[in-house]
């Protein structure tokens, strides 16, 4: 088991600068971060899993420490398959806490070997979410400082 590999799971619909902030902070702790997009057909997503992976690739193209992947099923099973014993998540505000706490404890119950680690983003991103970015972009607002350039382009393609 590689102790220095973390899985950073999420919907990433689309990835925001808040996600990038967490990945970059995580890279100061872990040797490798596997950013993994959940394949969840029941959830209404704007972008396909492939499109989301593509956007993440465009940010981390030349960084061998970041692997972009997708997963289905239980997160702890996926983490074990990838040889990782850490799940990385971002915690923006108290409002995130209840959901994250429940998820971390359930994951611990399912597999006590796998630890959950939480990092706080820079304060400028505590208000940021994929949903609010989609809403602002769909209404013609400027999102250039909220998402990577490749994501801005893709969002504009969808909405404009």
Alpha helix stretches (DSSP H) within 14-143: 17-26, 49-60, 75-81, 94-110, 130-138
Shortest distance, position 93 Cβ to ligand PNS, whole Å: 14
How far apart (Å, rounded) are the C-alpha atoms in residues 39 and 54? 14
Stretch that binds ligand PNS, among 48-56, 58-66, 103-111, 146-154 (CB under 6 A): 103-111
Shortest distance, position 148 Cβ to ligand PNS, whole Å: 17
Residues in Cβ contact with 108 at an 8 Å cutoff, skipping those fewer than 6 apart: 114, 115, 116
Tell me which of 11, 70, 80, 129 binds ligand PNS, using CB under 6 A: 11
Site for ligand PNS, residues 119 to 158, rule: CB under 6 A:
none
Tell me which of 9, 14, 15, 18 binds ligand PNS, using CB under 6 A: 9
Does 106 bind ligand PNS (CB under 6 A)? Our answer is yes
| Nearer to ligand PNS among residue 93 and residue 140 (C-beta) | 93
Which of 83, 79, 58, 78 lies closest to 68 in space, CA to CA?
58
* Active-site amino acid positions: 19, 43, 92, 130
Tell me which of 1, 29, 65, 74 binds ligand PNS, using CB under 6 A: 74
How far apart (Å, rounded) are the C-alpha atoms in residues 8 and 88? 5
How far apart (Å, rounded) are the C-alpha atoms in residues 102 and 108? 10
Residues that bind ligand PNS (CB under 6 A): 9-11, 38, 74-75, 103, 106-107
């Amino acid at each position: 088991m590689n102790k220095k590999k973390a899985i950073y799971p999420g919907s990433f619909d689309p990835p925001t600068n808040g996600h990038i902030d967490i990945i970059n902070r995580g890279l100061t702790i872990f040797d490798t971060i596997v950013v993994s997009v959940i394949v969840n057909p029941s959830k209404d997503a704007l972008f396909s899993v492939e499109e989301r992976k593509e956007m993440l690739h465009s940010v981390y193209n030349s960084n061998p420490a970041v692997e972009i992947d997708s997963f289905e099923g239980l997160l702890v099973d996926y983490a074990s398959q990838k040889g990782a014993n850490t799940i990385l998540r971002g915690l923006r505000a108290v409002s995130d806490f209840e959901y994250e706490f429940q998820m971390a404890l359930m994951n611990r119950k399912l597999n006590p070997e796998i630890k959950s680690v939480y990092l706080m983003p820079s304060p400028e991103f505590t208000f940021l979410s994929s949903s609010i970015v989609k809403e602002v972009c769909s209404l013609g607002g400027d999102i250039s400082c909220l998402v990577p350039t490749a994501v801005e382009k893709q969002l504009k393609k969808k909405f404009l």
